[in-house]
Amino acid sequence: MGVPTLAPHVRLRHDAARDQYVLLGPETVAVLNGTSAAILRLCDGQRSVAEIIAELRGTYEHVAEDDVRGFLSRMAARHYVEITDG
Amino acid sequence: MDSPFGLLAELTYRCPLSCAYCSNPVDLVDYGDELTTAEWQRVIVEAHELGVLQLHLSGGEPLLRRDIAELASTARDLGMYTNLVTSALGLSRRRAEELRAAGVDHVQVSVQADEPAVSDRIAGTPSFARKVEACRLVKELGWPLTLNVVLHRQNIDRIGAVLRLAEELDADRVELANTQYYGWAWRNRDALLPSREQLEQAEEVVSAARTRLKGRMDVIYVLPDYYSRYPKPCMGGWAQRQLTVAPNGDVLPCPAAQTLPLPRASVRTDPLARIWTESPLFQAFRGTEWMPEPCHSCDRKEVDFGGCRCQAFLLTGDAARTDPVCHLSPDHGIVEAAVRAANDGPRELTLIPRPHRVGQR
């Protein structure tokens, strides 16, 4: 798995009115939990998945590699994330 | 009560095209007195305070408003996602660069078919070549592009070629949406409603294209609800997730609701938050209490919310009835009759174009 980045049509925003993180697309609003938002904030087109996992481990106690990879694959399948060869 | 996520800002109902499937209101003359720039900016700020995250700049043709970049940058400064929904007529390079700089996040361009003769005939004006050029410009500037195609009896057989055009233009998304019968489209319904055979063929083409384009292009396909067993969950429920502001400042729970016999609400007289929470118009069909049978005891009442109020009104004269699209509706025969007529062999009905300007009756 290579380098993930947010798809060009989506924006990651903090929704102040509801105090939650959301991914915005032209017709969609995906509400994110804290962990999902933490992963997506690191999807900057620079860091590899391995680097993202390492960085999450600096902040969170239990980071299961398979969970992060699985989450990113699901986000890619929904066109929210693009994964390029790093 | 939940806050709305999206604001559809119908900046003007003026349009260089005259598509017969347009869902703009038939009485365009009522909307000539458009909100000023300052009024729209106030609406955007109030919408943001109310919890709106997405702003759709639409119309009519929103590019006919000279202040559209100003409005987009107001939304951008508030962190809103801004979506431009346009015919692309008027999207010159200068204009496009200005809008890109103002923070428009995404552009949706309509085409009426896959090639100039049919597209221009449906649009009522030579426009296809300019649209294609504008799509290339959108991609060149690094914008995500959605190609919007309203499908109907006169273009649905070309859906394969439309998908190839979307591919050639490198669109990120393509929205193939069958016509919804409101406004001018309601007036033209019988000439627009496709046959079952047309729909089945279209569906095959779409499903093959989805497989072929997987991971490259998002293909959204919206069936005509006249052929569905259950109604669409219109707007995600009345006054639940979205609101529309019309060019004259009227606030609506859905863009077709201006025809309903309900009291008006306007940003010219009330703050948006008060309209959303308290106005009789927004309260009229909120929740499930208003529902008649068979909706009220139906276990799908929180799935499709009784369908579309505007469709119920147009088909039965009573906005509080079950959407006749539902096969359980006592009025379903009205929809069945329209579907039967659409499948009664070939017919060529004339389309009535909508006028370009709002001053014409």
CA distance B284 to B100: 39
Taking only Cα atoms into account, the Rg of chain A, rounded to an integer number of angstroms, comes to 12
CA distance B220 to B235: 17
Provide the pLDDT for residue B348: 72
CA distances from B232 to B228, B242, B256, B271 (A): 8, 15, 14, 30
Q: Do residues B140 and B96 make contact, with C-beta atoms less than 8 angstroms apart?
A: no
CA distance B91 to B142: 15
The helix or strand, by DSSP H or E, that contains position B175, with its residue range, turns out to be strand B173-178
Q: Is residue B69 helix, strand or coil?
A: helix
Question: Residue B106 is nearest to which of A9, A14, A29, comparing CB atoms?
Answer: A9
Provide the pLDDT for residue B30: 87
Pairing of strands A20-24, A29-32: antiparallel
Low-confidence ranges of chain A (pLDDT < 70): 86
Which regions of B119-241 does DSSP assign to beta strands (E)? Answer: 145-151, 173-178, 218-222
Subunit contact B51:A7, Cβ cutoff 8 A: no
Residue for token pair 């379903």 = B332
Question: Residue B144 is nearest to which of A8, A18, A24, comparing CB atoms?
Answer: A8
Number of C-beta neighbours around residue B147 at 10 A? 25
| Share in percent of chain A as helix, strand, coil (round to 5) | 35, 25, 35
Closest CA to B273 of B108, B68, B93, B50: B50
Q: Give the distance from residue A12's alpha carbon to the nearest chain B alpha carbon, in angstroms.
A: 10
Contacts of A11 in chain B (CB under 8 A): 81, 105
Which two three-digit tokens encode residue B175?
């929205």
Question: Residue A26 is nearest to which of B51, B79, B108, comparing CB atoms?
Answer: B108
Q: Do residues B241 and B235 make contact, with C-beta atoms less than 8 angstroms apart?
A: yes
Contacts of A22 in chain B (CB under 8 A): 53
Q: Give the distance from residue B54's alpha carbon to the nearest chain A alpha carbon, in angstroms.
A: 8
Contacts of A24 in chain B (CB under 8 A): 53-54, 81, 105
Closest CA to B83 of A6, A32, A9: A9
In chain A, where the domains are located? 3-81
Contacts of A17 in chain B (CB under 8 A): 3, 49-51
Which two three-digit tokens encode residue B238?
């009345």
CA distance B38 to B44: 10
Q: Give the distance from residue A68's alpha carbon to the nearest chain B alpha carbon, in angstroms.
A: 20
Pairing of strands A29-32, A81-84: unpaired
- Output the CATH code of domain A3-81: 1.10.10.1150
Subunit contact B81:A79, Cβ cutoff 8 A: no
Is ipTM > 0.90 here? no
Q: First vs last Cα of chain A: how many Å apart?
A: 8
CA distances from B29 to B12, B24, B32, B258, B361 (A): 11, 11, 6, 13, 7
Q: What is the mean pLDDT of each run of 10 residues along chain B (361 residues)?
A: 95 96 90 96 98 97 98 97 97 98 97 96 96 98 96 96 97 95 94 95 96 90 94 94 97 94 97 98 96 96 95 97 97 97 82 77 41
As a whole-number percent, the residues of chain A with pLDDT over 70 amount to 99
Query: Chain A: residue nearest B81 by CA?
Result: A24
CA distances from B133 to B83, B92, B109, B235 (A): 19, 10, 11, 33
CA distance A53 to A42: 9
Subunit contact A25:B81, Cβ cutoff 8 A: yes
Provide the pLDDT for residue A86: 60
Q: Do residues B184 and B23 make contact, with C-beta atoms less than 8 angstroms apart?
A: yes
Which two three-digit tokens encode residue B137?
């410009």
